[in-house]
Amino acid sequence: MSQRHVPVMLQRCLDLLAPALQLPGAVVVDCTLGLGGHSEALLTRFPEARLVALDRDKEALRLSGERLAPYGDRATLVHAVYDELPEVLDRLGIARVQGVLFDLGVSSMQLDEADRGFAYAQDAPLDMRMDQTTGVSAAEVLNTYPPGELVRILRAYGEEKQAKRIVSAVVRERDKEPFTNSARLVELIRNALPQAAKRTGGNPAKRTFQALRIEVNGELSVLERAVPAAVKTLDVGGRIAVLSYHSLEDRLVKHVFAAGAATTAPAGLPVVPERYQPRLKLLTRGAELPTEEEVAENRRAAPARLRGAERIREDVE
């Protein structure tokens, strides 16, 4: 497991969080446990810290539980979606944390396990649920959503310019036979797109698969709740690091961090009262990118964008 899983921008994430995790008793939350690469590194680098790790995927929790077993009760693994962080901490009796890490998007395990249906490069059932015990599958979305809603999803979540053309083909084909497997969808997309659209941007199915995955798992709405909630759980001096893999995620994280780092005072005040002062300090100039060396070693790092922030002030009512 650890051989096939290479954590993205690992050293930089550790360095960003390090100043907040040096003291005994520090709590760090890995909101996206996956196969546990970042979590294992956090436990190793900060031997006095306690880890709380969340994942909605039960198989990821099982595999990571085996990997992190040597760390004993320093690691608490929880089956939860990351916007449930406040409730998880409340159940554990933890008022504040010193570090939070998000590694967004689909995990290496989900991409590598063919029967999960995340990867467009291999034929598999069109599932794409990160938690396979609940929710609708990608096949159900394709087969049952109205055409206008499918177009909206492909445009909004996949930034797919050919959404109407693809959806027209999907609706025509699903009337003949419902979609069940990824290979048929990939072939349909290839046939539906004009030649010019197929010559750029890698696999032509990439954007559609991304859009379906985000819809199936409610990723953006969950993230929209999760990042502000995570910031609220941070102690003063606590730090948060977020790895995004497409512009929609990164834009959302950027907005939350920028809002926290800005004064909210009305224009023209000679002195800015405490309640209007920024709550966050940005730790990265824009979004940091992986190095060329890392991308060469781990192609899945290529689209990564890392942003970090430090909590510098309590909320003042």
Q: Residue 237: phi, psi to the nearest 5?
A: 90, -10
Gap between the Cα atoms of 60 and 187, Å rounded: 30
Q: In terms of Cα–Cα distance, which of 155, 148, 131 is closest to 212?
A: 155
Residue 299 exposed, middle or buried by CB count within 10 Å (0-12, 13-18, 19+): exposed
3-state secondary structure of 234: strand
Neighbours of 222 (CB within 10 A): 17
Sign of CA dihedral 268, 254, 160, 173: negative
Q: In terms of Cα–Cα distance, which of 151, 148, 194, 191 is closest to 173?
A: 191
Asked if 181 and 212 count as a contact pair (C-beta separation under 8 A), the reply is no
- Positions at the binding site for S-adenosyl-L-methionine: 36-38, 55, 82, 103, 110
- Positions at the binding site: 36-38, 55, 82, 103, 110
